[in-house]
Structure 1
Amino acid sequence: MLKEKDYVYIQSYKHDGSLHRTWIKGFVIEVSKERIVAVTDRACVVESDGRRWITREPAICFFYPNQWFNVISMIRKTGIHYYCNLASPSIYDGEAIKNIDYDLDVKVHPDGSYLILDEDEYAQHGAEMGYSEQLKRAIGLEMEKLIKKIERRESPFDEKEIEELYRRYQYLSKHNGKWKK
């Protein structure tokens, strides 16, 4: 069972089952029925083609077992930037946090403005991999839900929540005790 202060691999797949991307590793700071929150800080990322790179800044990553998206909040000098992936609900299977990436992404700037990305890739992969109409409807509904959360600055798009989670990460990564609010 995954718990606070564990390190975890994060794996993203494509609809056809191929591995898309792996993060080595995330530091778990919260586990609940609603979400898993892990921090990647200068983490190694491996792409499906074998290319490797290191993340440039700390990022608080939100994985949801009941929602068709995950959110990466990157803490930069210019503010908190978000990258949202439309993806299957995330699961932890004892090996890694896993989900299926469905191409569509939303980039959110510190001022709350956002941009939907990769609509062409979504259409192409949908045709190539046979996304069903039911799947497309689910992704569309989740996109609407995600946009509403962004516009309302609801969790995880609340800057104060991100700051609190980052303080929790800093404490937990340096101490043996449990986090106390």
Structure 2
Amino acid sequence: MEVHMDYPKLFRKRYIPFETIELKDDKILMYSDELIITSWDTLKPRSDIASGVSAYFMKNGYKISRIYDSEGKFVHWYCDIMRPDIRKEGDEIESIYFIDLLMDVIINPDGSYFVVDSDEAADALDNELVDAKTLSFALRSLDTLLKLIYDGGLENVKIEMEKAVGKAL
């Protein structure tokens, strides 16, 4: 599917390491105020993963990705806690910065999962990279995401991704 030229530019902003990267090669497959679905290849070559499909839940504060290896085999789900920063020019959305709030959840194909990088969130607060309000938002988003996982909601996310991609995943 071709990227529609009227879509906003997408960026990833991280605190640790501190960087902002335009996701210029990501293909926007579905776009709404509440959900953006993209497909992408890794920014830098990696031996463990090669590509993915991501669903950004704009109001919930997380991104859920299905990660694939170089042969197209499903590796795992990777969920980022994030906050969208929408930047407008007049009434038009020019860009969206997805601010990585450090905590992530990895879900293996067998259903086992674990939360990672919560220590980075604490470090970011201790070093005043984020404030208490931002960390509170991140923790609430993590709680909402974990409840979705507990309730088996990833299957619905997969269905939305399949609609956007146009094939079974």
- Normalising by structure 2, report the TM-score: 0.73
Query: Corresponding residue for 1:28?
Result: 28
Contact 1:39-1:59 within 8 A present in 2 as well: yes
Query: Corresponding residue for 1:83?
Result: 78
Query: Corresponding residue for 1:11?
Result: 11
- Residue 69 of structure 1: CA displacement? 1.4
Would you identify which runs of 4 or more consecutive aligned residues in structure 1 move more than 6 Å?
none
Contact 1:34-1:64 within 8 A present in 2 as well: yes
Query: Corresponding residue for 2:128?
Result: 129
Greater CA deviation, 142-151 or 125-134?
125-134
- Residue 118 of structure 1: CA displacement? 0.9
Contact 2:37-2:161 within 8 A present in 1 as well: no
**SS in structure 1 at match of 2:45:** strand
- Residue 123 of structure 1: CA displacement? 1.0
| Counterpart-to-counterpart distance in 1, 2:110 and 2:161 | 15
**Residues 83 and 163 of structure 1, relative CA distance in 2, 3 Å threshold:** same
| Counterpart-to-counterpart distance in 2, 1:67 and 1:75 | 24
**Residues 98 and 168 of structure 1, relative CA distance in 2, 3 Å threshold:** farther
Greater CA deviation, 88-97 or 129-138?
88-97
Q: Does 1:53 align with 2:45?
A: yes
Pairwise CA RMSD: 3.2
| Counterpart-to-counterpart distance in 2, 1:114 and 1:104 | 13
Q: Percent identity?
A: 18
**Residues 90 and 107 of structure 1, relative CA distance in 2, 3 Å threshold:** farther
Contact 1:112-1:150 within 8 A present in 2 as well: no
Query: Corresponding residue for 1:146?
Result: 145
Query: Corresponding residue for 1:67?
Result: 60
| Counterpart-to-counterpart distance in 2, 1:90 and 1:154 | 25
Could you list the per-position Cα deviations for residues 90-112 of structure 1 after superposition, in whole angstroms to 9, with x for gaps in the alignment? 53655544121111111111222
The count of residues paired between Structure 1 and Structure 2 equals 157
Could you list the per-position Cα deviations for residues 123-144 of structure 1 after superposition, in whole angstroms to 9, with x for gaps in the alignment? 1111112533222222111111
**Residues 6 and 58 of structure 1, relative CA distance in 2, 3 Å threshold:** farther
| Counterpart-to-counterpart distance in 2, 1:147 and 1:6 | 33
Query: Corresponding residue for 2:97?
Result: 98
- Residue 53 of structure 1: CA displacement? 3.4
